[in-house]
Amino acid sequence: MKGTDFLEKLKDEMHNAVVGKDDVIEMLAIALLAEGHVILEGIPGVAKTTIAKSFAQAIGLKFSRIQLTPDLLPADIIGTVYYNQKTGEFKIKKGPIFGNVVLADEINRAQPKTQSALLEAMQEGQVTIEGHTLRLPRPFLVIATKNPLEFEGVYTLPEAQLDRFMIRVKVGYPDRGEELEMLLRKDRGKFVEVRQVFTAKQVQALIFEVRKVGTSEPVLEYLYEIISRTRSDDRLLIGASPRAGEHLLYASKARAFLQGRTYVIPDDIKAVAVNVLAHRLIVRAEYELEGLKPETVVREILDSVEVPV
């Protein structure tokens, strides 16, 4: 299956339950095929959960939802060991992390020790339950939702965890046409359940094809220059990590594949750079007070780096 066909078919099916949001759907597809994870950031009521659930239904993967709360424990996510009185043996009860697409809803409501239960899963595709290491199913995608405006009863995401998310997507208000379409379809009952249009086997085959997408040396040097300038920018306290460069490469390869190419071009890097890099950068306090955003810094760097011919 071609990447362009996959993306169009995915969008067509998801539009049965979601109005618009093509940019969000494309970023989810990029993360899935690049084997990364996503943060959907936006105020309540902009369809973050609906998008995540519809995405899992369309691609035919096992969906699991974790509602993060302050009293949630790591064992509630990864699972625990219990004693089976009938058999006289200790058994492992797997937690909701054992899914293909895992929705971590309102991730910043959980305590840091609970959020840390996701680190091993997201980085290594495995979890450790009381000394027993278990592999997670493949493909494995964590979609975390976050409300950026809440300050009561929430916790800051650790930098180590933010760096493990390949992509952050800001989900905003729909435009006038989209919201009117949504209201019309709600009024007339025209929203329907998303059908499964792909299989896990097809998705795995697409992931394998993305790995074969090539990147020339000049384009790699262009990518490195972008990463390097985030580290030397005086306005930033922390620049992009080597993992950020790796994620930028993989996301660019997935984007190239979805555009129907077998090689990465600078436009692929530009298309995903803000989503991949901005959430990892920390603006110095004096510039943050002036209203400088990490997204602005990334865009300015993209404008200043010479594009290879």
Residue 136's CATH number: 3.40.50.300
pLDDT of residue 150: 65
Domain assignment present for 91: yes
Residue 117 clears pLDDT 90, i.e. is over it: no
Same domain, 165 and 285: no
Give the model confidence (pLDDT) of 268-291 as tens digits.
Answer: 999 999 999 999 999 999 999 999
Same domain, 57 and 157: yes
pLDDT bracket for residue 130 (50, 70, 90): confident
Q: What is the mean pLDDT of the chain?
A: 90
Domain with 94 in it: 3-188
Residue 259 clears pLDDT 90, i.e. is over it: yes
pLDDT of residue 293: 94
Contact (CB, 8 A) for 263 and 214: yes
Please state, in angstroms and rounded to a whole number, the distance separating the CA atoms of residues 57 and 53: 6
Residues 212-230 have a mean pLDDT of 96
Domain assignment present for 195: no
Q: What percent of the chain has pLDDT over 70?
A: 99
CA count, 13 A, side-chain hemisphere, 44: 3
Domain assignment present for 202: no
Give the model confidence (pLDDT) of 10-20 as tens digits.
Answer: 999 999 888 88
pTM over 0.95: no
Residues 161-174 have a mean pLDDT of 90
Q: How many domains does the chain have?
A: 2
Residue 186 clears pLDDT 90, i.e. is over it: no
Contact (CB, 8 A) for 136 and 98: yes
pLDDT of residue 35: 93
Contacts of 282 (CB under 8 A, 6+ apart): 159, 236, 237, 238, 294
Using the Cα atoms of residue 21, residue 39, residue 283 and residue 302 in order, give the sign of their dihedral: negative
